[in-house]
Amino acid sequence: MLQLGLALQELGHRVMVACHDFDPETTPDRAAERLDIRAIRRGEVIPPVARGELLRRQWRGMPAVARLVPDEVDVVNAHEWPASRAARLNGAVWVWTRNDDTAWERGLIPETTLFEKPSLPGRLARLVAGVPDVVDARSAASIVVLDRRNADAVRKAYHRDAEILRCGPPEMFFDPPERAAARRRFGVDEHTFLAAAVGVLFPHRRFEDLVRAAAGLPAELRVGVRIVGSDQQDGAYADMLEGLVAEAGDRVRLERRAIPQDDLRDLYAAADVMVFPNRRQAYGLAPLEALAGGTPVILSTGIGVGEVLAGRPGVLMVPPESPDEIAAALRIAIETDLRSAATGTREWMRTQLSNRRYAERMVEIYEEALGRRRFA
């Protein structure tokens, strides 16, 4: 969202960001200084997890966010849920950037969502709680998604067509730090092959498949694995993963924390390969960020970004939930020069998946939405 705001501003548009919680210390590319960001609360961001917290954010927090938006706004671009509610309440023409599934979708079409299929009572509860999601989605001028799977989900859940528009990594990742220095910062010696994985610790990430893959590699291979991700939203999964890492010995290290952008860029530079083993994912910026710095990637076929990266140099695709396939891909990465191959993909991304190009297409979507309102 912030990368889009910066790109729109560079194109000459006036941009204001309205949000509930905002931590200036975590924004990339000095976005906190360069954008007009208005928030209900500033400071450390702790995502709401409990059902009561989520309901309060939806029913009390989003009206407050809607009031932050100035009257002269031309178009509101809501990112995710529950920002869709704030956008509808504001009353302006609005576009919904929908990446992840909603409560309504988890009840109606659970087989398409990121989470495990709930019980019948759970599905019914989600359908009841998700009725406002339908009202919001039906009122949006346009819906934008990142991959075909989610375009299909929008069609099934809301009987709406969605625009598939893919973004790229922040520009800062195309300027990686010096590799040897990055490896020293992470305590990686020159003889160790390092596989890195990052992401909020959720079950659909399937980091356990990477742990099992690494543990099954021959002992004579000097392989290290570094998994980094916040455990704030699913402590039970993080605990399970930590137990599995402990059983794997000292080959795998888990860091249960959010990682700042600069540290993330260092980790990609230090790694020999970045592994993204998700079962499903709306898109996946992390593989793009790694490739932007020249680091090859191993991706599962269940993620949206695979639609544009499959078959690209420096990219290995594996089936989801397949530790043996990940282990085989790691062997290929160890034995071949994937980093040199990734250079071509890096340059392709810089032109075809630039944030400027993404912003230009978003402007077209905004203008189409405004045009429909004028002639309605």
DSSP 197: E
- pTM score, whole prediction: 0.89
**Closest C-alpha to 275, from 226, 313, 308, 336:** 226
pLDDT above 70: residue 376: no
Element (H, E) at 21: strand 16-22
Of residues 273 and 374, more confidence is placed in 273
* Shared-domain flag, residues 270 and 281: yes
Kindly report whether the peptide bond that precedes residue 287 is cis, defined as omega within 30 degrees of 0.
Answer: no
Q: Phi and psi of 224, rounded to 5°?
A: -120, 145
Sheet with 252-256: strands ordered across: 252-256, 223-229, 193-198, 273-276, 297-300, 315-318
For residue 83, give both structure tokens.
């920002």
CA neighbor of 206 nearest in space, from 306, 143, 280: 280
CA distances, 215 to each of 210, 235, 251, 326 (Å): 8, 23, 7, 11
Q: Are residues 278 and 324 in the same domain?
A: yes
Separation of alpha carbons 29 and 284, rounded Å = 20
Neighbours of 316 (CB within 10 A): 21
Residues 39 and 84 in one domain: yes
Residue 19's domain is classified under what CATH number? 3.40.50.2000
Give the separation between CA 174 and CA 349, rounded to whole angstroms. Answer: 10
**Shared-domain flag, residues 116 and 128:** yes
187 and 92 co-located in one domain: no
Predicted local confidence at residue 375, as pLDDT: 54
Residue pair 180/269 in contact by the 8 Å Cβ criterion: no
The tokens describing 33, both together, are 């200084």
pLDDT digits (tens, 9 = 90+) for 297-334: 999 997 899 999 999 999 999 999 999 999 999 999 99
Question: Which residue type occupies 298?
Answer: I
Residue 110: what residue type?
A: P
Looking up tokens 């083993």, which residue turns up? 277
- Tokens representing 166 are 């893919």
Residue 374 has a pLDDT of 59
> Would you state the pLDDT for residue 259?
87
For residue 112, count other CB atoms closer than 10 A to its CB.
16
Cis link prior to 82 (omega < 30° from 0)? yes
- For residues 241, 246, 252, 253, the Cα torsion angle rounded to the nearest 10 degrees is 80
In this structure, what DSSP letter does residue 196 have? E
Q: What is the mean pLDDT of residues 346-373?
A: 92
- What whole-number distance in Å separates Cα of residue 243 and Cα of residue 237? 10
**Cβ neighbours of 311 (radius 10 Å):** 9
| Consecutive H or E run containing 96 | strand 93-97
Return the SS3 of 82.
Answer: coil
DSSP 134-172: HHHHHH-SEEEESSHHHHHHHHHHHS---EE------GG
Instruction: Provide mean pLDDT across the span 34-60.
Output: 89
Q: How far apart are CA 8 and CA 14, in angstroms?
A: 8
Neighbours of 92 (CB within 10 A): 18
65 and 105 fall within a common domain: yes
Rounded percentage of the chain residues whose pLDDT exceeds 70: 99
Domain total of the chain: 2
Which pLDDT does position 187 carry in this prediction? 92
Mean pLDDT computed over 182-192 = 93
pLDDT for the residue numbered 297: 98
Q: Count CB atoms within 10 A of the CB of residue 304.
A: 23
Tell me: do 262 and 312 sit in the same domain. yes
Shared domain for 268 and 314, answered yes or no, is yes
pLDDT band at 372 (very low <50, low <70, confident <90, very high): confident
Are residues 284 and 267 part of one domain?
yes
SS3 label, residue 274: strand
Distance CA 59, CA 38 (A): 19
Structure tokens at 282: 């709306």
* 224 and 369 both lie in a single domain: no
- Residue 255 to residue 130: CA distance in whole angstroms: 34
Q: What is the mean pLDDT of the chain?
A: 93
- Residues 205, 292: one domain? yes
Domain residues for the domain of 149 are 2-168+354-374
Contacts of 74 (CB under 8 A, 6+ apart): 92, 93, 366, 370
Residues 10 and 34 grouped into a single domain? yes
pLDDT of residue 26: 79
